[in-house]
Amino acid sequence: MFAADYAQRIPDAPAIVIAGTGESITYRDYEFRANQLARLFRASGLERGDHVAFIFENSITLAVAMAAAERTGLYFTPVNYHLTGGEASWIVENSTARVVIISAAMAPIAEELRASSPRVQRWLIASDVAPEGFESLAEAMSAYSGDLVDDPKLGVAMLYSSGTTGRPKGIQRPMPDGDPREPLPIWKATAEAYRFREFMSFLLPGPLYHSGPQATLACALRCGATVTVMERFDAERFLGVVDEARVTHSIVVPTMLNRMLQLSEETKAAYDTSSLEVLISSAAPCPPSVREGITDWMGAVLWNNYGNTEAIGGTMCSPEDWAAHPGTVGKAAVGEVRILDKAGHEVPTGEVGEVCFSGAGSFVYFGDEEKTASARRTGGASTSTGDLGYVDNDGFIYLVDRDAFVIIAGGVNIYPQEIEDLLIGHPAVADAAVFGVPDDDLGESVMAVVELVDPTGSPEEAARLLDEYCLRNIARFKRPRRYEFVERLPRTAVGKLQKKELAARYRERPVAGV
């Protein structure tokens, strides 16, 4: 997210524009503010390898904060702002953040954050009105110059991705020993894979706390792009921004594409999308019907990316690749793909196995050696994606299924164990199983099959109570959208839930939801 060169070459060009409000920042001001905050970090005693965290909705200030950390050798964690105060506090504390910055919209959880995160040494808020224990970010930054810090060091994001144990896990990559003025090879490879070019018009409709939007924002700013950021995705508004900003590149998830396709023909025809050169579908496999619909509408602009937050490797599938190899997620663009059996041996071409990557760099799950070790294969030389798939004779990868019961709803990973643990904690619940079921819009939606302590009550009332309970305790996007109540959940003699068989039963038929 370093753009000092463009601050000199195109100082008055817009670096970032917020789609909803029209708020923008030039390359000159972006670099000035990033350097001010970088100096604040240094003055706060932060050294290379220390951690900071930011809780923001999509905003210019979040981009500036990430840029400041990236040039001072820090690990920075953008936290999902949809989380409850308790969930966000857990990430802040687990990340060992020493400085935390939140947006004005996060003020209602400010007190809970401070009370739950005693290791944090400095709290800042992007507001003129600061809650107790917080400083105004703008006022604090005003004490520092906008010149680049002495001895700048390259920092990296430490994003959080939940595991099947239910608790989020920080994904920590080695701290690079480099200068932020020189991009890492992975950034160059990413820009090449995405067909980025200098001075492009880039549209980001996804949340910046996700790896895809966060990484591509960093790459786009290193290309001198004008980046338009949507506060939240809306299908028609997306088309409007493409038309107005003459967008050339964008990264989306399949659900976004599907929602655009569902617009009326009259609405779609009202916007000019001919400026699009590359539309990247990421986070989940793109259904063939969606890909075909977008291609028929917008032409051969849709690319598919396959990877994960751990950044152990990734693929890219061009429109031409898809035409020649329907159903593929592409060839490895970063790292080397290996398809392994349960014993860690490579399987023959065309045979299904565990999709693993090697050669793209290492990572650890922060503070969790056991989970880190569980992802390693072939003596640590390869890392599992958790997916099952195969490779054809030309080296193209095809995904078959997920190895675990992770739910992908609208491109977002949701982990059932966390929701099961919450439901089982309710006094009315004796047992619970959570899994994904097909959803025409989201790809998958969350379903809960529940065994009640008292099965004689109204299922509708039980579903309502559990829905309210979930909304109070976990982020809205994680709550079950469907409930089914059964007399007893199927478990083996040793107590293991037979979830695969249970999920298959409900995936084959529609279920009434709440």
Residue 464's CATH number: 3.30.300.30
Q: Which domain holds residue 168?
A: 27-179
Tens of pLDDT, residue by residue over 49-63, are: 999 999 999 999 999
Query: b or e along 198-235 (b: 16 or more beta carbons within 10 Å of the residue's beta carbon)?
Result: eebbbbbbbbbbbbbbbbbbbbbbbbbbbbbbbeebbb
Same domain, 32 and 96: yes
Could you tell me the sign of the dihedral formed by the alpha carbons of 211, 94, 408, 396, in that order?
positive
| 8 belongs to a structural domain | no
How far, in Å, CA of 166 to CA of 83, rounded? Answer: 14
Query: 63 and 148 share a domain?
Result: yes
Determine the pLDDT at residue 492.
54
User: Per-residue pLDDT for 291 more than 60?
Assistant: yes
Q: Mark whether 357 and 381 lie in a shared domain.
A: yes
Neighbours of 269 (CB within 10 A): 10
Residue 164: predicted pLDDT = 39
User: Which carries the bigger pLDDT value, residue 134 or residue 326?
Assistant: 134
- The partner residues of 409 in beta bridges, in order of sequence, read 412
**Do 174 and 65 share a structural domain?**
yes
Tokens coding 295: 């291609």
**pLDDT higher than 90, residue 364:** no
Instruction: Give a yes or no: residue 355 inside a domain.
Output: yes
Q: What is the pLDDT of residues 12-63, one digit of tens each?
A: 999 999 999 999 999 999 999 999 999 999 999 999 999 999 999 999 999 9
- Residue 258: its pLDDT value, please? 78
Per-residue model confidence (pLDDT) at position 494 = 41
> How many structural domains does the chain have?
4
Residue 513 in domain: no
Q: Taking the alpha carbons of 373, 375, 378, 383 in that order, is the dihedral positive or negative?
A: negative
Maximum Cα interatomic distance, the chain, rounded to a whole number of Å: 72
Q: What is the number of alpha carbons within 13 Å of residue 137 lying toward its C-beta? A: 23
Assign 95 a pLDDT band (cuts: 50, 70, 90): very high
- Lowest-pLDDT range, 91-100, 304-313, 391-400? 304-313
pLDDT at 85 over 80: yes
The rounded mean pLDDT for the chain is 89
Question: Which stretches of 46-153 are assigned E, i.e. beta strand?
Answer: 51-55, 75-79, 99-103, 122-126, 135-136
Residue with more model confidence, 301 or 514 = 301
Residues forming beta bridges with residue 401, ordered by sequence position: 388
206 in the same domain as 64: no
Band the pLDDT of 379: cuts 50, 70, 90: low
161 inside domain: yes
189 and 297 share one domain:
yes
Residues 328/288, Cβ–Cβ less than 8 Å: no
Total-model pTM:
0.80
Q: Do 459 and 395 belong to one domain?
A: no
Domain boundary, last residue among 133, 148, 179:
179
Distances (CA, A) of 368 to 117, 379, 414, 416: 19, 18, 20, 20
Per the CB < 8 A criterion, the answer to whether 334 and 194 are in contact is no
Residues 460 and 497 grouped into a single domain: yes
What does the alpha-carbon distance between residue 262 and residue 448 come to, in Å, rounded to a whole number?
28
**Domain co-membership, 251 together with 128:** no
170 and 33 within one domain:
yes
Residue 429 maps to a domain: yes
- Does some domain include residue 105? yes
Give how far Cα 43 sits from Cα of 106, 461, 468, Å: 25, 55, 45
Q: Which H/E stretch holds residue 215?
A: helix 211-221
Same domain? For 440 and 399 the reply is no
Helices (H) and strands (E) in the chain, counts: 17, 28
- CA-angle at 90, arms to 361 and 387, nearest 5°: 40
Round to whole Å and give the CA distance between 393 and 132: 62
Residue found by looking up tokens 């004689």 in the block: 456
3-state helix, strand, coil in the chain (%, to 5): 35, 25, 40
Sign of CA dihedral 7, 12, 14, 16: positive
Q: Of 309, 343, 365, which residue is a domain's last?
A: 309
At 300-309, the pLDDT tens digits run 999 988 887 7
Residue 514 has pLDDT above 60, yes or no: no
> What confidence tier does 513 reach under pLDDT thresholds 50, 70, 90?
very low
pLDDT band at 165 (very low <50, low <70, confident <90, very high): very low
Q: What is the pLDDT of residues 211-241, one digit of tens each?
A: 889 989 999 999 999 999 999 999 999 999 9
Phi then psi for residue 429, to 5 deg, are -105, 130
13 part of a folded domain = no
Provide φ and ψ at 445, rounded to 5°: -130, 160
Last residue of a domain, one of 161, 179, 197: 179
Distance of CA 466 to the CA centre of its chain: 27
Q: What is the pLDDT of residue 386?
A: 80
- Continuous segment of H or E residues that includes residue 218: helix 211-221
